[in-house]
Amino acid sequence: MLGRPVKAALSREQVFTATANRPDTLQEVTLGADRDGTLLAVRHDSWCSAATDLSFVEPTSTTSKETYRTPNLAISQKVVPLNVPRTTFMRAPGEAPGSFALESAMDELAVALNMDPIELRLRNGSLGPVGSDLQWSSKYLDDCYQVGAARFGWSGRTPTGREDGDWLVGMGTATAMFPALQFPASTEITLRADDTAVVSVGGADPGTGLLTVMALLGAESLDITPERITPRLGLSAYPPGGLSGGRPPPSAWGRRSWSPPRRCSRNCRRSRAHRARRSRDRT
């Protein structure tokens, strides 16, 4: 044994066989609507590949539960075990391929109805998950459609596109949804005498800029500039930061961890002001 860390480097070809990948999916989406574009039924059947141990399932059909409003919904998810390398979570597991299939079907429905694709989506926007009495606490998707259409010149588009040499050029739209999960999380904040602070979390940054988020949240909570915050990530000695998936870190760290520092910052300022007054009184 070498008694020291070893780095293994894979070639591009080896990455696709020696590591896990996103599963293959086969999806069948069936939509029913009346003449004005109101959805009457949505059916989304999905099959995904998996290693023989069935260690991971790509839940592609679940996207159709929440995106659009419909009185009739049927979804199914099946797994096909194959002698292939293991499949695993990739960015937006389930949501990315599932949204692609559903949105492709919505575009085909818009063509069949001779209807504007944005108008079709606006007409069928969901108020909450199908079959649930709960509604979204906030939703600005309709605003996104309208603002995006104005900024991209949607009203002047050619529905069938145009040819530019060997290229077919057109303008389209699509919707995607992703959960905003919440997990327990904690942070360690060290206040220094020079009005700087160190914020430490034992989580990981999957590429979403969490160090920047930590500095911004810390600065807002402690009422100092972001440049005076030193964010630290990735050591098990730091407080547990929760799972770095499903977009929970910023909201979990911010919601649970910044109220006490805000109170502490206020108390420190009061203490400094009190000491300054006492010093003036002695003088």
**Rounded CA gap, 40 and 185, in Å?**
42
Record the pTM.
0.76
* Domain map (residue ranges) of the chain: 12-129+139-156, 188-282
For the structural domain made of 12-129+139-156, what CATH number should be given?
A: 3.30.365.10
Query: The dihedral of CA 48, 49, 53, 55: what is its sign?
Result: negative
**Rounded CA gap, 124 and 106, in Å?**
11
Is residue 96 within 8 A of residue 88, CB to CB? The reply is no
**Do the first three CATH levels of 12-129+139-156 and 188-282 match, i.e. the same topology?**
yes
- Give the helix ranges, DSSP H, for 117-206: 117-123, 141-151
Per-residue pLDDT of the chain (283 residues; tens, 9 = 90+): 788 888 889 999 888 878 888 999 999 999 999 999 999 999 999 999 999 999 899 999 888 988 999 999 999 999 999 998 889 888 888 889 999 999 999 999 999 999 999 999 999 999 887 777 888 888 899 999 999 999 999 998 888 888 999 999 999 999 988 877 777 777 888 889 898 999 888 877 777 788 888 888 888 888 889 999 999 988 888 888 777 766 656 666 665 555 556 666 666 656 555 555 655 555 5
**Rounded CA gap, 186 and 41, in Å?**
44
Query: Which listed CATH number (3.90.660.10, 3.40.1050.10, 3.30.365.10, 3.60.10.10) goes with 188-282?
Result: 3.30.365.10
Cα–chain center distance at 179 = 6
For the beta sheet containing 197-201, the strands, ordered from the edge strand earlier in sequence to the opposite edge, are 188-191, 197-201, 229-233
